[in-house]
Structure 1
């Protein structure tokens, strides 16, 4: 069995118009990925071959308990979720425009997940991480932590990598979560993270905003120079660009440099309703194939299919039956 541990934050989600009708659920980039990963495993009849554990901290309130119950119903293990009786989950509001693009308002500064590493039982998490095959986290995971906790988490990842744990990372850049210092803090943090990353699942728009990359190819070149072996650059409606430096065919034998990246297109979506979880659902679909042993192309095709369905419906986590057909069709 492959065991992946996903570290991050899940918040209460409000979706609708201010002072109008609101739909309340939950969501968070890494939690969304965990749910769609679990669904991908179930749809492909390999649920028992991949264990998905979510690592975070929640409160002792009824909403926190309700979240745990729903994650368990989705097949996500909650054994590594810590309870913080002094804090509650964060909250965010999604507002959509006519094209399905969204803006967010957040209330998360005192969320339980922000203080995960300061929890008295966090050492149990550190011990458990040594037994997993892969750790996946995002730029948001790093951004919400106090600076010293972020440094500690990076040091933990260094240790895990030396022990053979595969590290996967989605940069998922949210400027409002980082200090307003011309991206210097985020650059330093991401630079350190990429030197530890085996599998990068990044979005070109984010990388361009941080680093000023002129093309997805430049993004891949920069990441591979930092030691990332497998690069996936998500391009929205244009699918994604991939490169696997562990495959001999992706390396030029004469120069020793990486060959040109390969494009994996996606099917067009005529009616986009909500792009809230596009990248997260891609990550979940991708990882459900990747951890089952598929190559990057097949894994990206599954990620594309999952995201293509999710963006046609409102909310970060859509009804399960809507995603199953997308996975089984690949």
Structure 2
């Protein structure tokens, strides 16, 4: 197990200055792209491929160059000359919490499945990892969903490990019921589940009505599924790490200098999956991932400077 394919969208990221309201910077970001970058930086020996589609324009050229500068494998980055990348604007408040404005309806990444003919396209072997998120699901054209699930099912049958993070964004779905149905397909196939409490509370409010602990509601919910690893991100409280037979709770060190929480979960995912591919235990992978996320939220933007992790013991 030394390869991973991460499927999703990379967008043009615009940062807004809180005082002036003007654009303060431009970069590239997207949940699985962010995860891929952090995974590759921390574990350079892992063959890290993005599965996405970009346009034929100059910004897409710059995006592709950025992928290469992060040492990502671009074999599965497809070009659609008729489309453009999506764009989003990041606004942050005084506590570092972020909100977004998106322009992505006609983004090239929505058409990525037209470039995937069969599981063999992804060049994965038994033991390798295929990772996607709720955002990955949301942006796929509805007419391509059946093909997507067929490919993922075949990957699982071939022994590829399927990893899924809920990353639910209500605005990307026509209805909550549609999202729940698509997520249920993911739960059935996933070997590695990485839910966050916030996402779960939005998706299943009747299970998190304030009378019970939301993390425990997640534990109970996923008992109906045959996962290998369940990692529940519970904010500043703790992280619950489970297999079908064991459970551990990992403490999270509180961060006081929060600047921007944009890529906290994405960096956690990248660090955790990279650590597991590199042979670390679930507990050690979780501790590293928590430290990485804690460092990332002390910097503006989704992708922090490369030297930010110089003091981490990987």
TM-score surpassing 0.5? yes
- Name the SS of the counterpart of 1:273 in structure 2: coil
Which residue in 1 is equivalent to 2:306? 320
Deviations 1:214-244 (A, max 9, x none): 3212212212312222100111222311101
Which residue in 1 is equivalent to 2:153? 158
Deviations 1:179-230 (A, max 9, x none): 1x3x100110001110000001111110121113332122122123122221
Alpha-carbon distance, 1:262 to partner: 1.8
Give yes or no for the alignment of 1:232 onto 2:218: no
Give yes or no for the alignment of 1:131 onto 2:127: no
CA distance in 2, matches of 1:68, 1:62: 10
Deviations 1:38-83 (A, max 9, x none): 0110xxxxx23x2101110011112111111121121210111001
CA distance in 2, matches of 1:19, 1:304: 32
1:204 aligned residue (197, 200, 217): 197
User: Across the two proteins, how many residue pairs are aligned to each other?
Assistant: 304
- Name the SS of the counterpart of 2:236 in structure 1: helix
Which residue in 2 is equivalent to 1:7? 7
Q: Give the alignment of 1:243-254 within 5 angstroms.
A: 243-245=242-244, 248=245, 250=246
Give yes or no for the alignment of 1:266 onto 2:262: no
Instruction: Check conservation: 2:119, 2:152, Cα contact below 8 A.
Output: no
- Name the SS of the counterpart of 1:202 in structure 2: coil
Which residue in 2 is equivalent to 1:90? 86
Give yes or no for the alignment of 1:175 onto 2:170: yes
Does 309-318 or 125-134 show the bigger shift?
125-134
CA distance in 2, matches of 1:128, 1:324: 36
2:287 aligned residue (301, 307, 311): 301
- Runs of 4+ with deviation above 4 angstroms: none
Deviations 1:97-126 (A, max 9, x none): 1111111000000000011112xx432x74
Alpha-carbon distance, 1:130 to partner: 5.0
Alpha-carbon distance, 1:92 to partner: 0.2
Which residue in 2 is equivalent to 1:33? 35
CA distance in 1, matches of 2:180, 2:191: 18
Which residue in 2 is equivalent to 1:24? 26
Which residue in 1 is equivalent to 2:177? 184
Give yes or no for the alignment of 1:146 onto 2:141: yes
- Name the SS of the counterpart of 1:87 in structure 2: coil
Instruction: Check conservation: 1:168, 1:198, Cα contact below 8 A.
Output: yes
Instruction: Check conservation: 2:119, 2:155, Cα contact below 8 A.
Output: no
TM-score (norm 1): 0.88
Instruction: Check conservation: 2:76, 2:122, Cα contact below 8 A.
Output: no
Alpha-carbon distance, 1:19 to partner: 4.7
Query: Aligned-residue CA RMSD in angstroms?
Result: 1.5
Instruction: Check conservation: 2:14, 2:23, Cα contact below 8 A.
Output: no
